Structure 1
Amino acid sequence: MWLLGFLWTSAGIFIGGVLAWLFKGINKKAHIIYALCTGIILGLISFEVLPEAVESGGWLSTVIGFILGMMLFKLLHSRLHFREDKSHTAKKLYIRTGLLLMLSFAVHNLPIGITLGANEEPGLTKALLQTLLFHSIPEGIILFMPLVLAGLSLFAILLISLLVSIPVALGVFIGGFLVHPFLNTIFMSFAMGMIFTVTVSEILYPALHKSTVLKVVCCTLIGFGLIGYYLHLL
């Protein structure tokens, strides 16, 4: 089960990364892509992660994990801060954003693996694996868009897809021995806090500086609506 979870997750993330790589030539319109990604991330949080966290452990543990995730982001942001220079500022910003998103999604994948490992119903296991695959595609697009703009190769996309998926396999092992709703919620909301803060400060904020507020808001709403429809179909 750990191998299936790992492979299906990495496959979905890799597909998303390939899609991001195919559109790398439109970097002049990166602010539009960033706005769409913002909407997709906020949609994933609103329609999937937040309801699961609250249902699993309640609002208190969700809020605690969310705040802890934001605090860790602030710490990592200060550690990964790059001094600006005229020739490499944009590339370094893309790399920093990608690194923070990598960590956020890796943390987010751990409770997913725990849920998969704790499940004992074959029918539900199949549904969870399919959800993992299709759920990971938009995450891959979001994760790799800044890294592709920084010049990432397809081989690097494959390698990172495998690395980010390792927590799913680890979570399956943990889920087989220990399942606690509070801890599960803390992990999910922790990742949610990190992802939300990365989105606002590293994706939405730069997009607002490169385009008009109206265009960014419209693209964000489009991304939000698309991911909502996508998850509804699942």
Structure 2
Amino acid sequence: MNIQTMVELSIFALVGLILGGVLGWIINKFVKQVNKLYVYSGSLVLGLIIFEVIPESTGTYDQFGLLISILLGIVFMHEIHLLTESFHIESKKNNAISFGAFFLVIAIAIHNFPAGIAISSNWINNQLSNDLTASFIIHQIPEGLALFLSLVSASSALYSIFSFITFSFLIVSCFFLALLLGEQSFFQDNRLRAIFMGISIGSLSYVSVFELIAKPYSKLKFSHFAQFLSLGIITVLLFMEFIQVH
């Protein structure tokens, strides 16, 4: 895979994230309560994990190794949480809310890394399908949506947009790095790719459940919590149905 192709794929991924951000901006015009947006964005990520990422991964990689790697990913994110929490000022509400967005950026970046490795290595082995590449790029849309909604709680709309664009470039940079590394023989080992994928699933699961869904639970009525949790899952199912039809 040449540099030009890597750049083009990275640009497509960035466009997917930005499209998700635009959808998030539209949704924010109708839903103003931050905790509801958090639950919705968390359920988007959780829905992708349950209905798309895990079924696809278990059919590709060794299930026991994948499970161990998922647990490692959860522990990894928990340790990062403990480390960064010592520098976190809980009394500042806006900082506390943006803390979940910080973790989501890390998790998405980690998640995109094995995807970049897979695309690059399959390209080398002439096994890259248009479906694999298109699926990855399209799945940047709900991730961009979740990321923007987690950032929209910032003190101003301008700050939210600036943060979203900055983090999107950071995420895409990690993907581009993965494309470069995927050409190395070291990353051709399927077991190593299973480890990366498991860690990415674990990290995304931790962020979606503990940071985005569980924390706002006590601040919402149960009916509102269940409504936005279900809405996120339904959005993912409709999104997957749209992909299959097209």
Q: With structure 1 as the length reference, what TM-score do the two structures score?
A: 0.88
Q: Within 2, Cα distance between the matches of 1:6 and 1:187?
A: 19
User: Per the alignment, do residues 172 and 84 of structure 1 end up closer, same or farther by CA in structure 2, a change over 3 Å counting?
Assistant: closer
1:58-91 Cα deviation digits (max 9, x unpaired): 2211111111111111111112222322xx22x1
Q: Within 2, Cα distance between the matches of 1:169 and 1:232?
A: 28
- 2:90 equivalent in structure 1: 84
1:56 corresponds, among 56, 60, 79, to 60
Q: Does 1:105 align with 2:108?
A: yes
User: Per the alignment, do residues 19 and 189 of structure 1 end up closer, same or farther by CA in structure 2, a change over 3 Å counting?
Assistant: same
Q: Does 1:231 align with 2:240?
A: yes
1:132-182 Cα deviation digits (max 9, x unpaired): 332101101111222221143433322221110122222222322332222
1:172-229 Cα deviation digits (max 9, x unpaired): 2232233222211211121111111112221112321221223312321221122122
Q: Within 2, Cα distance between the matches of 1:183 and 1:108?
A: 14
Q: Does 1:199 align with 2:208?
A: yes
Q: Within 2, Cα distance between the matches of 1:34 and 1:84?
A: 18
- 1:16 equivalent in structure 2: 20
Q: How many residues matched?
A: 231
- 1:134 equivalent in structure 2: 138
Contact 1:50 1:189 in 2 (8 A): no
Contact 2:151 2:160 in 1 (8 A): no
User: By how many angstroms is 1:109 displaced?
Assistant: 0.4
- 2:182 equivalent in structure 1: 175
The amino acid across from 2:64 in the alignment is: L
**What 5-or-longer segments of structure 2 have no aligned partner?**
none
Identity, in percent, stands at: 25
- 1:146 equivalent in structure 2: 150
Answer with 62-71 or 207-216: which moved more.
207-216
- 2:162 equivalent in structure 1: 155
User: By how many angstroms is 1:126 displaced?
Assistant: 3.3
- 2:171 equivalent in structure 1: 164
2:113 partner SS: helix
RMSD: 2.2
Contact 1:80 1:96 in 2 (8 A): no
Tell me which protein shows more helix as a share of its residues.
Answer: 1
The amino acid across from 2:100 in the alignment is: T
Q: Within 1, Cα distance between the matches of 2:150 and 2:43?
A: 16
User: By how many angstroms is 1:34 displaced?
Assistant: 2.2
Q: Does 1:93 align with 2:96?
A: yes
- 2:40 equivalent in structure 1: 36
Contact 2:109 2:171 in 1 (8 A): yes
Q: Does 1:213 align with 2:222?
A: yes
Q: Does 1:70 align with 2:74?
A: yes
**What 5-or-longer segments of structure 1 have no aligned partner?**
none
1:117 corresponds, among 116, 120, 127, to 120
Q: Within 1, Cα distance between the matches of 2:209 and 2:7?
A: 34
The amino acid across from 2:131 in the alignment is: A
